[in-house]
Structure 1
Amino acid sequence: MAEPQRTYVTQEFLEKMKEELTQLKTRKRAEVAQRLKEAIAMGDLSENSEYDDAKNEQSFVEGRILELEAQIRTAVVIQTTKSNHVAMASTVRIRDEKTNEEETVTIVGSTEADPFEGKISNDSPVGRALLGTKAGDEVEVDTPAGVIKYKVLEISGSTNK
């Protein structure tokens, strides 16, 4: 039997997933059940859009609960460490060598990735290229827009900004 895929997350993100799961199982399930009860009370279910909407929401909620349970069950908490090499949970300041633009990114698991928050997946092209590098290293990343060359300027082990 194949080993389940691990979900790499920070402790903070694991807590957020657990909180969402609790909310879905308690508050949201009850809300949807009440909506279904009210829609059924309206009678004819064949042309009852409220019933259809409530059933769709119920399916979404139950699917999300299953997804969160699986992610939590396979979660591996990323340990932050002080290191001179980029690893999971490292916050890295990099510079695009062509544009001279700097940005700071944190390497996280794909479940937690949010580029708008500066959190990139270890499975992304940039994340993969940065893993194992140290300050001063240059990496080339093959992207749909072409090859981008980054210089690693600074590494810290904290996931907090």
Structure 2
Amino acid sequence: MVYFQKMTPEGYKQIEDEIARLKKDRPRRIKILQEARSMGDLSENSEYTTAKMELGHLQSRLRYLDKQLRYAEIIKPDSTGKIDLGSSVQLQFEDDDEVQDYKIVGRMEADLAAGKISFDSPLGQALMKKQAGNVVEVEAPAGSYQVKIISVR
């Protein structure tokens, strides 16, 4: 069974950009490894060991990111006004007058500090397919709370 990773077009582009950056850096890392190898005895050559390890990490990251793209399912925002992957929302949490902006994204793109919440997080799950004006109950590990949806874009 193949599991497709849901993500926004922006998340897909971010992965493509990181792959391009890593591929651009690979020749430099290979050159460092070759230079370290030419220094002599490899068993006591810390430069060689470090360069080999760093190149291995880069190659591993490239394989991981490539797999993410291969199994990506790009979801575009719902145009019906209901919250879906890619939607930007303004929320007002209970007992708080402040309105906060969030974007609903795929699991790999989530970054709460940047205002990006995963569609499968407790808050994301509660918001999915709801509309502006709805009040939703969020069942989180720390307890339940209510959120009012101010707007959906």
Asked whether the two chains share a fold, i.e. TM above 0.5, the reply is yes
Measured in 1, the distance between the counterparts of 2:85 and 2:53 equals 37
Q: Is the 8 A contact 1:91 1:105 kept in 2?
A: yes
Q: Which residue of 1 aligns with 2:56?
A: 59
Q: Which residue of 1 aligns with 2:87?
A: 90
| TM norm structure 2 | 0.91
Measured in 2, the distance between the counterparts of 1:91 and 1:154 equals 8
Q: Is the 8 A contact 1:107 1:120 kept in 2?
A: yes
Q: Which residue of 1 aligns with 2:21?
A: 23
The answer to whether the aligner puts 1:116 opposite 2:124 as a matched pair is: no
The answer to whether the aligner puts 1:102 opposite 2:96 as a matched pair is: no
> 1:127 aligns to what SS in structure 2?
helix
| TM norm structure 1 | 0.87
Give the Å deviation of 1:16: 2.4
Q: Which residue of 2 aligns with 1:159?
A: none
* C-alpha distance after superposition, 1:80-136 (max 9, x if no partner): 232222111111111011223321111111111111221110111110110011112
* Matched residue type, 1:44: D
* Matched residue type, 1:15: K
Give the aligned CA root-mean-square deviation in angstroms.
1.5
Would you say how many aligned residue pairs link Structure 1 and Structure 2? 153
* Matched residue type, 2:60: G
Q: Which residue of 2 aligns with 1:6?
A: 4
Equivalent runs, 1:41-52 vs 2, <5 Å: 41-52=38-49
Q: Which residue of 1 aligns with 2:75?
A: 78
Q: Is the 8 A contact 1:92 1:104 kept in 2?
A: yes
* C-alpha distance after superposition, 1:56-89 (max 9, x if no partner): 1111111111111111111111212322221111
Measured in 2, the distance between the counterparts of 1:77 and 1:142 equals 27
Q: Is the 8 A contact 1:98 1:149 kept in 2?
A: no
> 2:81 aligns to what SS in structure 1?
coil
* Matched residue type, 2:133: G
Give the Å deviation of 1:24: 1.9
Q: Is the 8 A contact 2:107 2:119 kept in 1?
A: yes
Q: Is the 8 A contact 2:9 2:74 kept in 1?
A: yes
Measured in 2, the distance between the counterparts of 1:87 and 1:13 equals 15
Measured in 2, the distance between the counterparts of 1:95 and 1:12 equals 25
> 1:100 aligns to what SS in structure 2?
coil
Identity rate, percent? 37
Give the Å deviation of 1:18: 1.6
